[in-house]
């Protein structure tokens, strides 16, 4: 317990140093497969990693540039949007007010309004808003540059660096087993997240087309939002649904069109979650929903948005390690209690029994 508390305090206080390293490790884990594939085609590891990062960075920059103008339009119209939402929600607010008044009259509870607290002036030493925005932008740019540089070094080093580090930290007898575990984690997690990224791209495109057919303004902006938020299990689709419902409520005067937008998105997410993802990803890496929620909550508490991004990959890495460890059964049952999954040791025992049975036959 003391070790867990010490690790938690270290992660909380040292988040500025740990977050870039963790994000770079995750990106390198996902992109190491394509880099090794390029190496098999004759492209050296360093140019292949640099080319892959440039292609991905250029694609992200192009999409961000294309969607920047509609996003700025919605941010600029935020006060008008809030007024429209307040106007359209006024009947519900009036109904709730009448219900509350009737309850208070029935129970004869007198409530005195509390005076509004005096508005505190900003501290004399606080920096103006433009300076704070500039500092935040510079800090974000430094973090992004650090993550990219660390990712590039991790991709260039590749398996040889892992082999040297493993041999230096463990005995020669266990080095091959540790390297085998690292390679399985790299392969399984990389394949899982590449497949998940392709599924989310498809969901974003389908959402954009559906919003276009429904007459939503800036449909592919909301498709991009839905695809990005879908990387966060459970909470991401919920936030996307709330955003789309709010935009539809602001954009349309007829309730039927709002219901149509919400129904289309619910149908797409149901199809993605119940058909596409089990078919392409499989149920091998399923995790207990409660643990996913707890991981997201603790990730947000310790590291904010970066913690949310890293929460699910951490659980996936633990599960892959448990599946490929002889003594990983308790951890595997804790991470996925709904179904029985055999560890690598149990699979080896089963394979041994099967081979002995065939020899006996």
pLDDT value of residue 359: 44
What six digits make up the tokens of 313? 């990959």
Tokens at 32, concatenated: 């190491």
Give CA–CA dist 190/126, Å, rounded: 45
192: its two tokens: 């899982």
What mean pLDDT is predicted for residues 282-304?
78
Whole-prediction pTM = 0.68
Determine the Cα–Cα distance for residues 231 and 56; give it in Å rounded to an integer.
17
Residue that the structure tokens 């607010």 belong to: 93
pLDDT attached to residue 265? 92
Given a cut of 70, is residue 344 above it in pLDDT?
Answer: no
Six-digit token pair at 358? 């065939």
What's the pLDDT at 122?
47
- Give the CA dihedral 304, 306, 308, 310, nearest 10 degrees: -140
Give the pLDDT band (50/70/90) at residue 172: low
Among the ranges given (58-72, 272-286, 334-348), the one the predictor scored with the smallest mean pLDDT: 334-348
Which sequence spans correspond to the domains of the chain? 159-282, 286-348
Task: Write the CB contacts of 251 (distance below 8 Å, at least 6 apart in sequence).
Answer: 215, 216, 217
Query: Which tens digits make up the pLDDT trace of 304-316?
Result: 888 888 888 888 8
Least confident of 20-34, 202-216, 254-268: 20-34
pLDDT at 115 over 60: no
| Whole-number Cα distances in Å, 155 to 128, 169, 180 | 41, 21, 18
- What gap in Å lies between CA 141 and CA 89, rounded to an integer? 40
What value does the mean pLDDT of the chain take?
Answer: 76
CB 18 within 8 A of CB 11: yes
Integer Cα distance of 261 and 250 in angstroms: 12
Give the pLDDT confidence score for residue 209 in this predicted structure. Answer: 93
Rounded to 10°, the helix 129-169/45-76 angle is 150
Cα–Cα distance between 307 and 314 in angstroms, integer? Answer: 10
pLDDT at 126 over 60: no
Q: CA 294, CA 307: separation in Å to the nearest integer?
A: 12
Q: How does pLDDT run across 99-109, given as a tens digit for each residue?
A: 666 666 666 55
């Amino acid at each position: 317990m003391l070790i867990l508390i010490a690790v938690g305090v270290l992660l909380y206080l040292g988040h500025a140093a740990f977050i870039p390293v963790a994000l770079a490790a995750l990106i390198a884990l996902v992109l190491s497969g394509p880099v090794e594939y390029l190496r098999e085609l004759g492209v050296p590891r360093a140019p292949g990693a640099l080319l892959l990062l440039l292609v991905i960075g250029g694609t992200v920059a192009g999409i961000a540039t294309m969607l920047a103008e509609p996003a700025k339009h919605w941010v600029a119209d935020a006060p008008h949007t809030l007024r429209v939402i307040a106007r359209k929600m006024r009947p519900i607010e009036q109904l709730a007010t009448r219900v509350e008044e009737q309850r208070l009259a029935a129970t004869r509870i007198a409530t005195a309004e509390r005076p509004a607290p005096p508005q505190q002036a900003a501290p004399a030493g606080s920096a103006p808003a433009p300076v704070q925005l500039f500092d935040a932008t510079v800090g974000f740019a430094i973090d992004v540059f650090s993550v990219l540089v660390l990712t590039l070094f991790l991709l260039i080093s590749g398996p040889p660096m892992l082999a040297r580090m493993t041999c230096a930290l463990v005995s020669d007898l266990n080095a091959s087993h540790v390297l085998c575990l690292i390679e399985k984690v790299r392969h399984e997690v990389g394949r899982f997240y590449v497949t998940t990224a392709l599924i989310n791209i498809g969901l974003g495109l389908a959402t954009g087309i559906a919003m276009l057919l429904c007459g939503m303004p800036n449909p592919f902006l909301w498709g991009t939002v839905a695809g990005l938020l879908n990387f966060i299990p459970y909470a991401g689709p919920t936030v996307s649904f709330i955003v789309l419902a709010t935009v539809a409520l602001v954009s349309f005067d007829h309730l039927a069109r709002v219901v149509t937008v919400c129904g289309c998105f619910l149908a797409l997410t149901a199809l993605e979650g119940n058909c596409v993802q089990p078919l392409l990803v499989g149920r091998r890496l399923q995790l207990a929903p409660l643990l996913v929620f707890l991981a997201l909550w603790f990730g947000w508490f310790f590291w904010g948005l970066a913690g949310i991004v890293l929460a699910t990959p951490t659980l996936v890495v633990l599960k892959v390690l448990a599946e490929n460890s002889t003594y990983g059964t308790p951890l595997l049952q804790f991470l996925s209690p709904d179904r029985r999954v055999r560890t690598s040791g149990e699979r080896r025992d089963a394979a041994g029994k099967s081979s002995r049975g065939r020899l006996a036959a």
